[in-house]
Amino acid sequence: MANSHVEVDLSHHLSDTARNIRPNPLKAMYKYMGVPGLIAIAGGMPHPSLFPYEELSAVTLKPDTYPLDGSQPDNNSSLTWLWSLFKSSKSKTQLHIPKYADSGSGADPIQLSTALQYSGVVGLPPFIEFVRNFTLKTFKPAYPDFQVLANSGNTDGWTKAAAILCQPGELILTEEWTYPGALLSPWPAGVRPFPVPIDGIGMVPEKLEALLRDWKEHEHEGKRRPHVMYTIPVGQNPTGAVMNGQRKKDIYDICVKYDIIIVEDDPYYFLQFPDYRRKSERSLRSLVPDVISAETSRQYLDTLAPSYLNFDYQKRVIRLDTFSKTIGPGCRLGWTTCNAQFAAIMVDYSASTTNQTSGISQALITQLVSKQWGYDSFIRWLRGLATQYTARRDGMVDCFFECSSIGVIQRNNSLYNGAPVYDAFARPTGSVYHSYDEKFPPNGKTLFSFTIPNSGMFIWVTVHLKHHRDWVPVPAPGSALEFLLWSELAKGGVMVAPGYMFSTDESDVPTSTELASAHARSEYAHMRLSFSSASGSVLSPRRQRWR
């Protein structure tokens, strides 16, 4: 790339908060703590001999526990006993962390005396070593001197990024539907989202460029053009869109042109799936070789969408990764990748706010994925997880196709930027039909439509409220019918997330007064359905509740 070695000063993006952060002088001493022979009497550190934990042991699964063909039945299935006959008797292993590692464990061993102690904000050295090497091999950043630092999950990482970048009252670029928790982090500072239209593969470059090019401050209450973008490019929450490499390059080039910092929130990166196939079209066994090796890891990673880091020759990307979706969210552990300037400021900011990330979580995860498994075995674990979530996605979509009260067809000649759109309509029996038959017989009137995601944990459903007998065309925000649909599903034992929760337009969020209104107002509503927490055997008896 012609501009790959051009240094760009990004310091003008820093907020007043970032400029006024002062380093914690006590934290500066930690870099000396490992010096042999040092007599450490400067800090108020508890003596590790007084920690009550002498050792930590756990039984863990092996990295190849989940087959790559997704053939393992549901744990609640009647076939579970059959699976147990074929499953390896050595599918579990022991993990052990002592209070004090033996002398042959290297310069920075994983031990409880360190994990339970105060430590540097960046992260425990073995953890940082692993995630830096993982980032280098997996995401291939476009510049060599990138920095990584531990965080307490992606929400924590984003909160810190927003704090050092955003001034009070500023606007940030987001997808038009996005994760509400991310919007709430900078909300108290008056930071608000400015939505960019999306399609089947995420944010639309032409729409982004148009709004940046045509920005006029007097049309936006005197606010300057946004200089920070928050995006979930893979398994976009809530839509499930996956942004490919070309789209990312196009958006990155626009961000270079208009001087935008990209915050890439990517918790679902390793939950990328193949296209959905109907049951009759699925083979029992795939031809994917189940071998743990550098070559199979490379082949698998080549099938995944690249990170923005791969195009980041100007060091303007802050990437957020987490173990929440791949190990467990209760660990509250992830890492931030960015340039050295941003990293140093986030370290100082963390030192005066959250301080260090949990040492126990760092020790547990590093011992497992780095010491016990290693890079290629961890990649094999991630591949197995992806096949399990593929099966769960397929199970939920199967329920749509198999529900006796609705029919599902692919919309003729309609693609959402390459993704087929499916319409669900009422069959001429059942309670759904009786809600629609007075004005709209089921000959083509769509109840809801959806696309099938290739990543993440969610199916994004568009409900066609305008086809309901109680709908009236009142041009106002909010939707009584949307709330009614949500509450009726909940009463029937199915909890979904109403779409307005993910809107970046405040006018889309109905007030309590609007929800009590007798009239429906919007032509469409949305629902986010999670297939991650409900498997086929759980969903199957509930599919009739769509009626």
Range of the domain at 509: 388-546
Q: What is the dihedral of CA 70, 72, 76, 82, to 10 degrees?
A: 160
The yes-or-no verdict on residue 192 having pLDDT over 60 is: yes
Mean pLDDT (whole number) for 403-415 = 68
206 and 331 together in one domain: yes
Residue-level pLDDT at 474: 56
pLDDT, mean of residues 256-277:
97
Q: Is residue 401 part of a domain?
A: yes
DSSP conformational letter for 503: B
Q: Which residue has the tokens 């590093």?
A: 366
Q: What is the pLDDT of residue 494?
A: 85
- Position 438 scores a pLDDT of 37
pLDDT at 507: 60
pTM for this structure? 0.89
Last residue of one domain, picked from the residues 337, 371, 405: 371
Quick one: pLDDT band at residue 2, thresholds 50, 70, 90? very low
Domain shared by 148 and 182, yes or no: yes
CA distance 386 to 269: 10
353 and 414, same domain (yes or no):
no
Give the per-residue pLDDT at 39. Answer: 77
Q: Is residue 274 in a domain? A: no
Which residue has tokens 């790559």? 68
For residue 52, pLDDT beyond 80 = yes
pLDDT in tens, 151-161: 999 999 999 99
60: part of which helix (H) or strand (E)? strand 55-61
In a domain, 5, yes or no: no
Give the CATH number of the domain where residue 431 resides. 3.90.1150
Give the N- to C-terminal CA distance of the chain in Å, as an integer.
55
b/e burial code for range 119-146 (CB count within 10 A of at least 16 → b): bbbbbbbbbbebbbebbeebbebbeeeb
Predicted pLDDT of residue 72:
57
Report if residue 155 sits inside a domain.
Answer: yes
Beta pairing, strands 261-265 & 317-322? parallel
pLDDT at 97 over 60: yes
Quick check: is 507 in a domain?
yes
Q: Which candidate, 234, 229, 308, places its Cα nearest to that of 272?
A: 234
Are 216 and 338 part of one and the same domain? yes
Is 408 found in the same domain as 334?
Answer: no
CATH of the domain at 323: 3.40.640.10
**505 secondary structure, DSSP code:** -
Q: Same domain for 173 and 214?
A: yes
Confidence bin at 437 (pLDDT 50/70/90): very low
CA distance 190 to 184: 10
Query: 515 and 428: one domain?
Result: yes
* End position of a domain, from candidates 325, 345, 371: 371
When pLDDT is averaged across residues 418-428 and rounded to a whole number, the result is: 78
Whole-angstrom Cα distance, residue 64 to residue 85?
17
Lowest-confidence range among 43-57, 62-76, 165-179?
62-76
Confirm whether 422 is domain-assigned: yes
* Residues 438 and 352 placed together within one structural domain of the fold: no
pLDDT in tens, 231-254: 999 999 999 999 999 999 999 999
Number of domains in the chain: 2
425 and 325 in a single domain? The answer is no
Could you tell me which residue, 423 or 100, shows the higher pLDDT? 100
Please state whether beta strands 55-61 and 458-464 pair in parallel, antiparallel, or not at all (unpaired): unpaired
Examine the domain organization and report whether 393 and 485 are in the same domain: yes
Q: Is residue 147, in this structure, part of any structural domain at all?
A: yes
Q: What is the Cα–Cα distance from 528 to 355, expressed in whole angstroms?
A: 35
Task: Tell me, yes or no, whether 323 and 431 share the same domain.
Answer: no
- pLDDT of 89: 47
Is residue 393 domain-shared with residue 535, that is, in the same domain? Answer: yes
Q: Tell whether 94 is covered by a domain.
A: no
Pick the residue with more confidence: 472 or 338?
338
Final residue belonging to a domain, choices 371, 405, 429: 371
Rounded to the nearest angstrom, the gap between the alpha carbon of residue 181 and the centroid of all alpha carbons in its chain is 12
Task: Report DSSP state, residue 466.
Answer: G
**317-352 per-residue burial string, b: 16 or more CB within 10 A, e: under 16:** bbbbbbbbbbbeeebbbbbbbbbebbbbbbbbbbbe
Phi, psi of 130 (to 5 degrees): -65, -50
